[in-house]
Amino acid sequence: DAGVIQSPRHEVTEMGQEVTLRCKPISGHDYLFWYRQTMMRGLELLIYFNNNVPIDDSGMPEDRFSAKMPNASFSTLKIQPSEPRDSAVYFCASSLWQGGSGEQFFGPGTRLTVL
Amino acid sequence: GEDVEQSLFLSVREGDSSVINCTYTDSSSTYLYWYKQEPGAGLQLLTYIFSNMDMKQDQRLTVLLNKKDKHLSLRIADTQTGDSAIYFCAETSLSSSASKIIFGSGTRLSIRP
């Protein structure tokens, strides 16, 4: 398997623009997580899904952020409108909970810069 | 709620042992993890320990778990320049939503020549 795939790897946009980050989890995994990492706040869990259903979105900072998982192989994180303070590295991770250690496999991340 | 704490920085001399410490609050933790993040990359699982164990060794890595004190440590023997990274302590438990992992803030390990 190719691992968790994220696109784009880098995104530079202007304040007010819509940003869409994409994630393809590892095939067969039933959990998908979106994290944000900044120097100031470290690693923050934004939202996670189980079998395509959002379970906990309490980490989503504002209504400007939304996430979807239309099927088992694809998820998006959207920011509309974007602001400079959204600049961060966004990670997607997936895991298979049943019978395992619960290890989460991380993608390479999307580095977002909002000017 | 659950919390995981670790120091932010550690500097060691090449060839020495590195010991990264972590404390957690959830007494029902089932798995405790150490993840490694190299520059420009995502987190990668380094090792993990089940809560009914007190030690796990894997080549240069030794994990010690003191469940009574809720203290986890990672020892890296013969530290090399390639070990420079951020190390995250993490835990999951049956008391949290299944598969949700609580991460610490990460310890940045730097190696001195």
Residue pLDDT, tens place only, A98-114: 666 778 999 999 999 99
Q: Could A101 and B31 be called an inter-chain contact, meaning their C-beta atoms sit closer than 8 Å?
A: yes
Q: Could A31 and B92 be called an inter-chain contact, meaning their C-beta atoms sit closer than 8 Å?
A: no
Give the percent of chain B with pLDDT over 90: 77
Query: How high is the pLDDT of residue A1?
Result: 66
Task: Report whether A7 contacts A110 (CB < 8 A).
Answer: yes
Residue A63 to chain B, least CA–CA distance (Å)? 22
Give the percent of chain A with pLDDT over 70: 97
What mean pLDDT is reported for chain A? 93
The DSSP call for residue A104 is P
Task: Report whether A31 contacts A97 (CB < 8 A).
Answer: yes
Q: Among A7, A24, A43, A110, pick the best mutation site for testing chain B contact (most B Cβ within 10 A).
A: A43
Query: How high is the pLDDT of residue B46?
Result: 95
Q: Could A50 and B101 be called an inter-chain contact, meaning their C-beta atoms sit closer than 8 Å?
A: no
Task: Report whether A93 contacts A104 (CB < 8 A).
Answer: yes
Query: Does the beta carbon of A52 lie under 8 angstroms from any beta carbon of chain B?
Result: no
**CA proximity to B52, closest of B25, B35, B28, B19:** B28
How far is residue B75's CA from residue B39's CA, in Å, rounded to a whole number?
21
What mean pLDDT is reported for chain B? 91
Select the more confidently predicted residue: B94 or A52.
A52
Burial class (CB in 10 A: 0-12, 13-18, 19+), A22: middle
Query: Does the beta carbon of A25 lie under 8 angstroms from any beta carbon of chain B?
Result: no
pLDDT in tens, A38-77: 988 889 999 999 999 999 999 998 899 999 999 999 999 9
Q: Which tokens belong to A52?
A: 């395509």
Q: Where are the beta strands (DSSP E) in B2-105?
A: 4-6, 9-13, 18-24, 29-37, 43-50, 55-58, 61-66, 71-76, 85-93, 102-103
For residue A39, give the chain B residue with the closest CA: B105
Distance of CA A73 to the CA centre of its chain: 13
Task: Report whether B18 contacts B79 (CB < 8 A).
Answer: yes
Task: Report whether B32 contacts B89 (CB < 8 A).
Answer: yes
Task: Report whether A67 contacts A60 (CB < 8 A).
Answer: yes
Query: Does the beta carbon of A56 lie under 8 angstroms from any beta carbon of chain B?
Result: yes
Q: Among A26, A101, A105, pick the best mutation site for testing chain B contact (most B Cβ within 10 A).
A: A101
User: Contacts of residue A50 in chain B, CB cutoff 8 Å?
Assistant: 98-99
